[in-house]
Amino acid sequence: MAKPVTGFSKKTKTEKIDWLTQTYLSANPTAKQTLQKYWNTDTKLQKLHDDFIENTISNYYLPFGVAPNFLINGDLLALPMVIEESSVVAAASNAAKFWLSRGGFTAKVLSTQKNGQIHFDYFGNEQDLIIFFSEIKTILIESVSEIQKNMKKRGGGLLDIELISKTDALDGYYQLHCTFETLDAMGANFINSCLEQIAQTFEAKAESHPSFKSNNTTPEVVMSILSNYVPECLVEAEVSCPIEDLDQKDIKGNEFAKKFVRAVEIAKAEPRRAVTHNKGVMNGIDAVILATGNDFRAVEAGIHAYALKNGHYSSLTDARIENDTFIFSIQIPLAIGTIGGLTSLHPMTKFALQLLQNPNAKQLMQIVAVAGLAQNFAAIRSLVTTGIQKGHMKMHLMNILNQLDASEIEKNEAINYFKENTVSHSAVIEYVEKLRA
């Protein structure tokens, strides 16, 4: 049984690896070699990667792909995508190509406010709290003047502070709800710094306020933190065309449009379908978010919460037919940035943003929304026509062949064979075994 380790964070990278391999990986003599194989030979670049997180022992690579031919608001772009799942980049590219000749994608930002809360307990007279807040609101705003000096110069900063009672949900629970504009920065560190300063000022003023001292019911801050739910930071994207322009090889445009709309209606009505439907949306969104150095966990959490905004989990996309025109759209909350964090540090993130022609935060919001819409279009198009597995498994074929250590000759033979045959794991194994026999 392994024993606890002390001072692990103070060990060198090599010492960390030695301890891990000796303690947990003694049965794998090549473990250390595998880890070192993924070190960057550029020591300066490797040091940069090592400093991103704690206890770094190696790098974990994901493919960096590109989906070309995205016409967005009249600009033709190639979208950088970082993802491990087969067929995602191909699906995005196919959707971009499909809509390229049908007017492309339109997108617009609806709002850009972000928010955070100071959560506190108060069990006294609510009217005393309301009066106290009205007296010190200006002081609370002034308390972050130094923190937001640079942000203010750029046109952003703290917008407002609101006292909200949440006692109907939890006894004695109140919050100071703060709204912010952070421009091209995602702004998490800025928002949290402001919140903590406001909380400190709030508590200090409360301690000396006569209403609380006389009743011994001083407000007590529990925590101060930004919210990753940003329904006031919205972007929408859309594609549309006459129904007859949807004619495809094996299906007429009107039939395709009806089946497509019905598929989206099912995802609106049935949460079990909606989860997989929205996962497909996030395939496109996350891939661009990762490529541009943004926080995909925050984006995921906020978007999935938004899918519940009407009281049940539902589709993030909408499809309809109006006056013989097919319209497919998405509206999502996105708190992302193009400055700060990894966007100015990671070389591949810099490259991704340059590839996108150095967008500002609003432009990147539009690009990300389009990526999600395109991915969902490609998935539903497959589902209501050929089925999802035909294209997915053909893209997955190379992964199976690599698992079997297939030679280049075997790979070429298999690719040709499965152009006309159904791909499955067992079918690929059987075919490769026949080649080898």
* pLDDT tens profile 417-433: 887 777 888 888 888 88
Asked if 281 and 244 sit in the same domain, the reply is yes
Q: What is the CA radius of gyration of the chain?
A: 27
Q: Look at residues 165, 192, 226 and tell me which one is the last residue of a structural domain.
A: 226
Residue 105 DSSP label: B
Residue 62 maps to a domain: no
Question: Has residue 146 got a pLDDT over 60?
Answer: yes
Q: Once rounded to an integer, what is the mean pLDDT over residues 9-31?
A: 94
Place 339 in a pLDDT band, splitting at 50, 70 and 90: very high
Structural domain range at position 18: 8-50
Q: Sort strands 173-181 and 114-121 into parallel, antiparallel or unpaired.
A: antiparallel
Place 403 in a pLDDT band, splitting at 50, 70 and 90: confident
For the stretch 293-316, pLDDT in tens is 999 999 999 999 999 999 999 999
For the stretch 182-201, pLDDT in tens is 999 999 999 999 999 999 99
pLDDT number for residue 28:
93
Q: How remote is the C-alpha of 85 from its chain's centroid?
A: 15
Asked if 244 and 361 sit in the same domain, the reply is yes
Residue 63 maps to a domain: no
Count of structural domains, the chain: 4
- Residues serving a catalytic function are 85, 279, 295, 392
Number of alpha carbons in the 13 Å side-chain half-sphere of residue 268: 12
**Amino acid letter, residue 122:** Y
Burial 363-382 (b: 16+ CB within 10 A, else e): bbbbbbbbbbbbbbbbbbbb
Place 392 in a pLDDT band, splitting at 50, 70 and 90: low
Asked if 336 and 358 sit in the same domain, the reply is yes
pLDDT number for residue 344:
80
Residue 325 maps to a domain: yes
Asked if 221 and 250 sit in the same domain, the reply is no
Neighbours of 357 (CB within 10 A): 11
Mean pLDDT of the chain: 94
pLDDT number for residue 418:
81
Residue 205 maps to a domain: yes
Q: Once rounded to an integer, what is the mean pLDDT over residues 237-246?
A: 97
Asked if 42 and 126 sit in the same domain, the reply is no
pLDDT number for residue 395:
65
pLDDT number for residue 173:
98
pLDDT number for residue 394:
61
Residue 61 maps to a domain: no
For the stretch 151-169, pLDDT in tens is 999 999 999 999 999 999 9
Neighbours of 126 (CB within 10 A): 13
Asked if 410 and 359 sit in the same domain, the reply is no
Q: Once rounded to an integer, what is the mean pLDDT over residues 198-222?
A: 91
CATH code for the domain of 294: 3.90.770.10
pLDDT number for residue 156:
96
Asked if 410 and 349 sit in the same domain, the reply is no
pLDDT number for residue 143:
98
CATH code for the domain of 173: 3.30.70.420
Share of the chain above pLDDT 70, in %: 98
